[in-house]
Amino acid sequence: MPNQKPSLKRRTFLSAGLAAAAGGAAISCGGGGTGEGWRFFTAEEARTVDAICERIIPADRDPGAHAAGVVNYIDIQLAKRFKKHQAAYRKGVAGVDAVSRARFGKRFAELPPDQQTQALTEVGAKSGAFFNLVLNHAMQGFYGDPRHGGNRNMASWRMLGLPLPPVRGRQHYDDPKAG
């Protein structure tokens, strides 16, 4: 049967692969819930942590924590290297939402920025350890190497004017001296 054409055309195969990759990228960047892209957080916990991080590193003329994918970094690390902090995050995130509901009648992520700041101030006074933990992890996710899940598009490195590292394996081709 050497003259038989394959039943799946190359273009169809590539289109399906690109569609799957695009869908996977949206999920892995923090768009889903537990079982839908999050490794540790539930969808609501991820929204809360994302909002907390955005209050810590807000967007201005440069991207903030949300655009840099800091919550994605924290989620990945809580499933790996930060496992010892899982209980602190579960309790702390629930505490932030409880304070927000008690004080303003809404979840933290649903509050306007000024009320979020007030809620975080109250949480920091009650549980400074949790706030400091999130602060530390937010900084790591914002300024760290993108390969660890944060600093999407090297946002903080661009903001600081740092030279962007070459893509591995490309320096030989891009460097006019190497030739």
- Residue-wise pLDDT tens digits, 10-52: 444 444 443 333 333 333 344 434 446 899 999 999 999 999 9
Question: What pLDDT does residue 19 have?
Answer: 38
Query: In this predicted structure, what is the pLDDT of residue 94?
Result: 96
Quote the CA–CA distance of 11 and 95 in Å, as a whole number: 51
Flag the least confident range among 26-30, 122-126, 134-138. 26-30
**Residues 146-159: pLDDT tens digits?**
888 888 888 888 88
Measured CA to CA, the distance from residue 40 to residue 38 in angstroms comes to 6
Who wins on pLDDT, 120 or 159? 120
Mean local confidence (pLDDT), 111-119: 96
Give dist(CA 157, CA 65) in Å, integer: 13
| Rg for the chain, CA atoms, rounded | 21
What pLDDT is recorded for position 33? 42
pLDDT attached to residue 32 = 38
